[in-house]
Amino acid sequence: MSAINKQWDARYIGVVDYGQAWELQKRYVREMDEGARGDTLLLLEHPPTYTIGSQRHPEHLLLGKEELERKGIALYEIDRGGDITYHGPGQLVGYPLLYLDAQGLDLHAYLRSLEQAIIDWLAQYGIAGSRKPEYTGVWVGDLKIAAIGVKFNKCRKRRGFVTSHGFALNLKAGIAEEGFRGIVPCGIQTYGVTSLADLTGRDKSVRQAADELLPHLCRIFHYEPSAITVEIAN
């Protein structure tokens, strides 16, 4: 996973339909496998969406088709790891697309690195983020503030993998009631969900959080400090 003295192509692309962002990731992964694109970080926000990961537990979706349509919530079954989660306004979504060389590859360490960057960002606000050994993601006590679900795409033309999907960091107050009530988040019934605003009262925009989190991601993954390119998707 070494990328010392390299930079990410970090892009903030605004509010993007989930399906559009998924197709963009798949295209970028192919280009990276072919050596036509360098490591890329997509930072964005989705309209209300539920995604079901490869664990495939449809019973963890508590709403029927008609109620989803009434609430305007899209539903996708996708190829990342994990169970069901929610994406919506007031949540920073990050899709790090990184080439991981097969030599010395540690996929577990990649997940822990994503968590650490978010934990370090939370510390700026006096929030003690932590891990739970049995679950992926970032927690504050028994409440999850960031979900993580990734896919390791095996390269066809290079030796190694390209990552896709990533993290979803809750910022907006009340996001647990707004979107997570309709599911059993990540299949975990024991614990709840929280956000930066719920914990601190701070109203932080998705773009502001993206700007603040990027230096932590660069440091954790050994990239030079990067600036975010704003490229609002149409």
Is 201 assigned to a binding site? no
Is 158 assigned to a binding site? no
Architecture per CATH, 9-230: 2-Layer Sandwich (3.30)
Judging by beta carbons within 10 Å of its beta carbon (0-12, 13-18, 19+), is residue 61 exposed, middle or buried? Answer: middle
Q: pLDDT tens digits for 78-94?
A: 888 778 889 999 999 99
User: Contact 28/75 with Cβ under 8 angstroms?
Assistant: no
| φ, ψ dihedrals at 15, nearest 5° | -85, 120
The residues spanned by each domain of the chain are: 9-230
pTM: 0.93
pLDDT at 186: 65
Is a pLDDT exceeding 80 seen at residue 11? yes
Is 82 assigned to a binding site? yes
Is a pLDDT exceeding 60 seen at residue 229? yes
Judging by beta carbons within 10 Å of its beta carbon (0-12, 13-18, 19+), is residue 79 exposed, middle or buried? Answer: middle
Is a pLDDT exceeding 70 seen at residue 120? yes
Active site residue ranges: 186
pLDDT at 3: 46
Is 166 assigned to a binding site? yes
Q: pLDDT tens digits for 169-223?
A: 999 999 888 888 887 766 667 788 999 999 999 999 999 999 999 999 999 999 9
